[in-house]
Amino acid sequence: MLKPQTLNAFENFCEEAKKYDFEPKIESGYRSFERQLLIWNEKVLGKRKVLDKNGKPLNIAELCETELMKAILLWSALPGTSRHEWGTDIDVIDAAAVPKDYEAELTIEETLGVFGKFHKWLDLQIEGKNAFGFKRVFLPGIGRVQPEPWHLSYSPEAREIEHNFTAENLAERLSNSDILLLPQILANLDWILENHVFCYFER
Ligand SMILES: [Zn+2]
């Protein structure tokens, strides 16, 4: 479900990585709006854990609806704003560093530990503009999304989608869906976009 150019670039990226004994593997690629919506609604309903900044489960009964919305946004993208919906963004691990049945958690600990060598190599590839168009997006100190060094975006195609992204389209899409907390979302849409979406655009 990735865009053809993105997939092609990823294949070239993999071939280069192989020369260094790495085996990049997509842990999470395309995710639909509907899937993201399901995750969102389950969190609002308490069917899935909602975590605080430190990864500890929150008692959502203690939160007002706006607080709950902001808490969910710490770890989950608002449907319609996840870059995984674009077909240009992927979460990548190095399959060569782990046993076949290893279940990746996608944490900073892994990035520094078991996948440390791969990420050091990736740093150099990205710095040298040698990563076949892939860039990191969720870097520390930008917005309110937790840093995700494993999240790579195929810049040439992602930039186009960023360029055509509008708050109006998003508001319409959300209004036509059965998303929970819609009034709180719409009342804070500019804030959400500013802190969770637009600050990560290349522009
Ligand atoms: Zn990701």
Q: What is the pLDDT of residues 139-158, one digit of tens each?
A: 999 999 989 999 999 999 99
Q: How far is the CA of 188 from the centre of ligand 1 (A)?
A: 23
Q: How far is the CA of 191 from the centre of ligand 1 (A)?
A: 21
Q: How far is the CA of 150 from the centre of ligand 1 (A)?
A: 7
In this predicted structure, the answer to whether residue 186 has a pLDDT above a threshold of 90 is: yes
Percent of the chain scored above 70 by pLDDT? 100
Please report whether residue 123 resides in a domain.
yes
Please report whether residue 65 resides in a domain.
yes
77: amino acid identity, one letter: A
Identify whether the C-beta of residue 108 lies closer than 8 Å to the C-beta of residue 126: no
Please report whether residue 93 resides in a domain.
yes
Confidence band for 196, pLDDT divided at 50, 70 and 90? very high
- Expressed as residue numbers, the domain containing 174 is 4-193
pLDDT of 51 reads 92
Please report whether residue 12 resides in a domain.
yes
In this predicted structure, the answer to whether residue 203 has a pLDDT above a threshold of 80 is: no
From residue 196, alpha-carbon distances to 20, 133, 163 in Å are: 35, 23, 16
Confidence (pTM): 0.93
Domain count, the chain: 1
pLDDT of 78 reads 98
Which residue blocks in the chain are alpha helix, DSSP H? 4-18, 33-44, 65-75, 108-112, 116-127, 155-164, 167-175, 182-187, 189-192
Q: How far is the CA of 25 from the centre of ligand 1 (A)?
A: 13
Beta bridge partners of 24: 94
Helix (H, G, I), strand (E, B) or coil at 159: helix
CATH code (residue 112): 3.30.1380.10
Please report whether residue 171 resides in a domain.
yes
Q: How far is the CA of 73 from the centre of ligand 1 (A)?
A: 14
pLDDT of 3 reads 97
Please report whether residue 203 resides in a domain.
no
2: amino acid identity, one letter: L
Identify whether the C-beta of residue 94 lies closer than 8 Å to the C-beta of residue 23: yes
Q: How far is the CA of 136 from the centre of ligand 1 (A)?
A: 10
Q: How far is the CA of 105 from the centre of ligand 1 (A)?
A: 12
Q: How far is the CA of 148 from the centre of ligand 1 (A)?
A: 7
In this predicted structure, the answer to whether residue 192 has a pLDDT above a threshold of 80 is: yes
Q: How far is the CA of 104 from the centre of ligand 1 (A)?
A: 13
In this predicted structure, the answer to whether residue 45 has a pLDDT above a threshold of 90 is: yes
Q: Write the pLDDT tens digit of every residue in 10-29.
A: 999 999 999 999 999 999 99
CA angle (88, 94, 95) in 5-degree steps = 110
pLDDT of 54 reads 85
Q: How far is the CA of 27 from the centre of ligand 1 (A)?
A: 9
- If you average pLDDT over residues 183-194, what whole number do you get? 98
Q: Write the pLDDT tens digit of every residue in 47-102.
A: 999 999 888 999 999 999 999 999 999 989 999 999 999 999 999 999 999 999 99
Please report whether residue 198 resides in a domain.
no
DSSP 17-58: HHTTT--EEEEE----HHHHHHHHHHHHTTSS--B-TTSPBP
Averaged confidence pLDDT in the chain: 96
Please report whether residue 15 resides in a domain.
yes
Q: How far is the CA of 99 from the centre of ligand 1 (A)?
A: 22
Q: How far is the CA of 60 from the centre of ligand 1 (A)?
A: 25
pLDDT of 1 reads 87
Q: How far is the CA of 45 from the centre of ligand 1 (A)?
A: 24
Confidence band for 106, pLDDT divided at 50, 70 and 90? very high
